[in-house]
Amino acid sequence: MLRSHTCGELNLTHNGQIVTLSGWVQRSRDLGGMTFVDLRDRYGITQLVFNMETNAPLCEEARKLGREYVISATGTVTERSNKNLKMPTGEIEIFVEKLEILNVSKIPPFTIEDNTDGGDELRMKYRYLDLRRNTVRDNLMLRHHMGIETRNYMNEIGFIEVETPVLIKSTPEGARDFVVPSRMNEGQFYALPQSPQTFKQLLMVAGLDKYFQIVKCFRDEDLRADRQPEFTQIDCEMSFVTQDDILNTFEGLTRHLFKTVKSVDINKLPRMTFADAMKNYGNDKPDIRFEMTFVELTDLVKGHDFKVFEDAELVAGINANGCAGYTRKQLDALTDFVKRPQVGAGGLIYVRFNEDGSLKSSVDKFYTEDDLKKWAAAFNAKPGDLMLILAGVAGKTRKALSELRLEMGNQLGLRNSEVFAPLWVVDFPLLEWDEDTQRYYAMHHPFTSPKPEDIPMLDTDPGKVRANAYDLVINGVEIGGGSIRIHNRDLQKRMFTILGFTDEDAQAQFGFLMNAFEFGAPPHGGIAFGFDRMCSLFGGSDSIRDYIAFPKNNSGRDVMIDSPSPIKQEQLDELKLKLNLTEK
C-alpha cells in the first residue's frame, strides 16, 4: 500500500511513530516559517506540517501543492500544540520528512466542502468530484450499509437471493418498457424488467419458498424529480403464506434496518385500511408522525344558506393546535396555498378558537357562535386552536385537505426527518376505473388476488372488490408495496379478462406464467421496497438522486458521460434498424 495508515485513524496513541499517508490536498496555509496541509481521504483529514527552518526545500515543495493534488507523505506523528478536538485526528499532526506528488490536479470547478459553491448541473457533470464531498460519500456508505443489513437479515430468516434476468420480454401493460434489439434474432427485442414480478412468481412455482433480491429495475417514463429510469428494489416473495405472514416478516426487516442503521427502536407497526387512510388523512400514504386527522362536518353545517357548504358533497377540516394566533396574512397565505392548481380547493374556511374562549370564523355571516361551538366540539378543539375547513366533491376535497394537513405539519415542525413513523396500509381496492380509456386497471398489478369474500363482486361491482394488497408507508412516503398473488390459472384468466385482455393477448404476454400455474403453483405473495427511496428516507433527504452514485437528470441523461448518444451506422445495420427521426 502507498500508505501505512489512513487519514482518519491517527491519534495520540501513535505519537512518535513514522507513518505514510496518501490522499488529496484539502487546503494549505503558510504561517510564518511553517506550511500546514490538510490531507484528506475517505476516512478523514490529517494535518501535515512542513518547516522552513528544518527542511527548506521540502517546505518549498509543499508550498507549490494545489488543491486536490494527490500526494503521499511520510513523517512523524507529533502532538499538536493547538489541538482541534472537533476532529478525531485533531490532537496530532505529521512532521513530514518525505513528500511524493502522485498526481496533480486542475483547480476543481467547485469547492470540495460539505457546503459547496457548485450548482446542481455542475456537480452532476463532475460527479466524481461531487462524490469527494463527505455528505455525498456518506449517502453511499449508508446505502451500502442498508444493503448489507438487508441481505444478512433476509439470509438469516431463510431467504435465498436469486438473480433474475435483465434481458426479458416486453409487456405493454403498465409503464413503458425500455427495449433492447436482438442482433441474433432479427426484428425481435428484449425488454428490461420494470420488476422481476413474473420471475419471482415462477420461483415460487419452482418451490424456492423464500426468495429475495436487491435488483435494478427500469421504467421508460417521463421523469419527475424523484424518479429515475433505472432504480433499485428489494424484491421479495414467499410461499404458503397469508397476508399476515408477509406483514410480520417485513415488519421484522423494517425494524432491523431502523435498529442497525439508525439505532432507532420501532414499535409494532400500526395497520390501517385504505378506506380509513382516505377518510382520516385523504391519502393512501398518510404521514402519521402527527395526528391532525380529518373531521367531517357535512351534516353539521347544512341548512344555513352558506352555498359553498350547501352544495358540497363533503365538508371536512383539520384542527391546527395552537394556531389561533395566525395573522390575516398567514391565513391568506394558507388560502392561496389550497387554491394552487396542484392542491385544487376553491377556498378555505377557518374558525379561530381564541384563548378567551370566543370563536371567530370566516363564515360568521352564516353561523352563530353556538353553531361554531358544535364544530369545535366535533374537532375536539380547545382555546388557542385554529380549525381549517374545505368543502366540495369528496375525493378532491380530501386530496386538498391532505395537502393542507401536510403543509400545517411542516409549519408546526411536526415532520422532523429524524422521527420515523412507519405503518401498513392494507385492503387496497383491486381495480381502478379509468375514465379516459373506459376500462379498469389493476391498482397494484394484474397478479394481485382479490379478497376471497369479495370475489362475488367481481361480476357485479368490480370497483368495490378489495385486494389482498398492502403498502409500507413511512413518514408519508410509500416505501414498499405488495400483495398475495393469484395462484389459480382460472382466476388469473378471469382477471386478465376484466382488465380487457383478449385471450390471445393474455396468452402471448403471460402464457408462460399461466402455463406454470397448471403445474402445481403454491399459494404465495410478496412485496417490493423502493431501495433508493428507502435510503433517502433513512438519510433524511427528499431526493433519491443524492443516494445514487451516478444518477440521470430529468431528461434521462447522464451528463457526466454524455449519454445517451448516437451509435455508429454499422451498429444500426447489424441490428437491422433504421432511424425514423421527426423532421425538423
Q: Which is nearer to a copy of itself, 35 or 228 (CB)?
A: 228
As measured in angstroms, the least distance from the Cβ of 25 to a copy of itself is: 8
Q: Which is nearer to a copy of itself, 361 or 492 (CB)?
A: 492
Q: Which is nearer to a copy of itself, 222 or 503 (CB)?
A: 222
As measured in angstroms, the least distance from the Cβ of 114 to a copy of itself is: 14
| Sole residue written with cell 380547545 | 382
Q: Which is nearer to a copy of itself, 229 or 392 (CB)?
A: 229
Residues paired with 25 in a beta bridge? 39
As measured in angstroms, the least distance from the Cβ of 250 to a copy of itself is: 14
- What does the alpha-carbon distance between residue 65 and residue 101 come to, in Å, rounded to a whole number? 8
Residue 61 vs residues 46, 335, 456: alpha-carbon distances, Å: 19, 64, 84
Kindly report the number of other CB atoms within 10 A of residue 147's CB atom: 15
As measured in angstroms, the least distance from the Cβ of 482 to a copy of itself is: 16
Q: Which is nearer to a copy of itself, 141 or 377 (CB)?
A: 141
CB proximity list for 501: less than 8 A, separation 6 or greater: 173, 509
Q: Which is nearer to a copy of itself, 89 or 319 (CB)?
A: 89
Q: Which is nearer to a copy of itself, 165 or 456 (CB)?
A: 165
Q: Which is nearer to a copy of itself, 475 or 536 (CB)?
A: 536
Dihedral sign for Cα 9, 12, 18, 22, please: positive
Residue 126 vs residues 70, 142, 194, 255, 466: alpha-carbon distances, Å: 17, 22, 29, 37, 49
CB 157 within 8 A of CB 211: no
As measured in angstroms, the least distance from the Cβ of 571 to a copy of itself is: 7
Q: Concatenate the DSSP letters of all residues of 253-284 into one string.
A: HHHHHHHHHH-----PPPEEEHHHHHHHHSSS
CB 135 within 8 A of CB 123: no
As measured in angstroms, the least distance from the Cβ of 36 to a copy of itself is: 19
CB proximity list for 15: less than 8 A, separation 6 or greater: 77, 78, 79, 92
As measured in angstroms, the least distance from the Cβ of 12 to a copy of itself is: 23
As measured in angstroms, the least distance from the Cβ of 218 to a copy of itself is: 7
Q: Which is nearer to a copy of itself, 130 or 407 (CB)?
A: 130
What backbone phi and psi angles, to 5 degrees, belong to 301? -100, -10
What backbone phi and psi angles, to 5 degrees, belong to 244? -60, -40
CA atoms within 13 A on the CB side of 316: 26
CB 43 within 8 A of CB 21: no
Residues paired with 522 in a beta bridge? none
Kindly report the number of other CB atoms within 10 A of residue 303's CB atom: 9
Cell numbers at 180, concatenated? 433492447
Residues in the chain: 584
What backbone phi and psi angles, to 5 degrees, belong to 463? -65, -20
Kindly report the number of other CB atoms within 10 A of residue 123's CB atom: 18
Q: In 3D, which of 464, 201, 409 has the Cα closest to residue 286?
A: 409
As measured in angstroms, the least distance from the Cβ of 506 to a copy of itself is: 14
As measured in angstroms, the least distance from the Cβ of 578 to a copy of itself is: 4
Q: Which is nearer to a copy of itself, 305 or 583 (CB)?
A: 583
As measured in angstroms, the least distance from the Cβ of 335 to a copy of itself is: 38
As measured in angstroms, the least distance from the Cβ of 181 to a copy of itself is: 7
- What does the alpha-carbon distance between residue 370 and residue 532 come to, in Å, rounded to a whole number? 52
- What does the alpha-carbon distance between residue 313 and residue 293 come to, in Å, rounded to a whole number? 19
Q: Which is nearer to a copy of itself, 176 or 494 (CB)?
A: 176
Q: In 3D, which of 499, 288, 231, 538 has the Cα closest to residue 280?
A: 288
Q: Which is nearer to a copy of itself, 168 or 331 (CB)?
A: 168
Q: Which is nearer to a copy of itself, 52 or 206 (CB)?
A: 206
Q: Which is nearer to a copy of itself, 85 or 579 (CB)?
A: 579
CA dihedral in degrees (320, 321, 323, 325; nearest 10)? 140
Q: In 3D, which of 186, 410, 374 has the Cα closest to residue 292?
A: 410
As measured in angstroms, the least distance from the Cβ of 566 to a copy of itself is: 6
Q: Which is nearer to a copy of itself, 33 or 165 (CB)?
A: 165
As measured in angstroms, the least distance from the Cβ of 285 to a copy of itself is: 25
CB 487 within 8 A of CB 522: yes
As measured in angstroms, the least distance from the Cβ of 387 to a copy of itself is: 46
- What does the alpha-carbon distance between residue 584 and residue 581 come to, in Å, rounded to a whole number? 9
| Sole residue written with cell 386497471 | 441
